[in-house]
Amino acid sequence: MPLREFDITIGKTGEVELHIKGYKGRACHEAVKMFEQIVGEMKSQRETSEFYEPDEQVQFNIEQRH
Amino acid sequence: MGAVSILAPVIIAAWPAFSSAVVAAAASLGYQVASEAKNQAAAAAQKLAQPVRLEIERSEVVTDQLGRDQHMTVTRSGITVTFSRDARGRASLHVTGSGQSQEELRALGEELSQRVVQQYVYQKLMDEMRKRGFNVVEEEQNEDQSIRLKVRHWEN
């Protein structure tokens, strides 16, 4: 079971800084979309190395071939 | 980590959710709720001299026909702030007081309106995270008045 975690800081003006952990690729985009629906407009975004890691399912298939 | 995002808040709220944020913000800054009634507070605010009017950006207080004249007034040491929904549906506030300059009243109004937005975002995030099965495992108020939350969810 993967751990999904959000570290959220609500600044004194209401601006939200969101650190997303445990999501990769498309799942990360979906998590961001969820926060856009809850909070508002995206001002900036920076993907971290985990974002570019393959999804769990893809990784599993590769391991099966070896 | 997957991503780091910065989001600007947009308030689209019914009056109860908006007024709940006003109450929380006012209490955190030492204001007391004076009244919440149709027309009454607006009429009282208009009698005070030279109110400073501010709008809460990116806000829309959705309401039905019956709720259009709702207001909420909070006070602190001679400062009176009345929140209402303007004709376009945007949340606005009138700040009045005795002995303060217009700049001081504006600064007080901006401080309070920012806190309302912060409290609205906080309440909405807490509500939505719980609905989606996330657990709030850490919560703290920082010295710079920001609120930090850590939420977790084990996905099947």
Q: For A27-65, what is each residue's pLDDT tens digit? A: 888 889 999 999 999 998 887 776 666 665 544 444 555
pLDDT at A62: 47
* More confident site: B80 or A60: B80
Residue B65 has pLDDT above 80, yes or no: no
In this structure, what token pair is assigned to residue B68? Answer: 């259009």
pLDDT at A60: 42
Rounded mean pLDDT of B32-54? 66
B143 shares contact with chain A (CB less than 8 Å)? no
- A7 and B148 within 8 Å at the Cβ level: the answer is yes
Q: For B97-129, what is each residue's pLDDT tens digit? A: 988 899 999 999 999 999 999 999 999 999 999
B120 shares contact with chain A (CB less than 8 Å)? yes
Total domain count for chain A? 1
- B2 and A22 within 8 Å at the Cβ level: the answer is yes
How far apart, in Å, are the Cα atoms of B155 and each of A4, A5, B1, B152?
Answer: 7, 10, 16, 10
- B147 and A10 within 8 Å at the Cβ level: the answer is yes
Residues of A with Cβ-Cβ distance to B122 under 8 angstroms: 10
Cβ-based neighbours of B19, under 8 Å, separated by 6 or more:
B36, B70, B72, B83
Residue B45 has pLDDT above 70, yes or no: no
Q: Which of B128, B9, B5, B7 is nearest to A28 (CA)?
A: B5
Structural domain including A23 reads: 5-65
Whole-model pTM: value is: 0.83
pLDDT at A45: 87
Residue percentage of chain B with pLDDT more than 90: 64
Least confident of B47-51, B71-75, B152-156: B47-51
d(CA B56, CA B79): 19
| Contact criterion met (CB below 8 Å) for B99 and B78 | yes
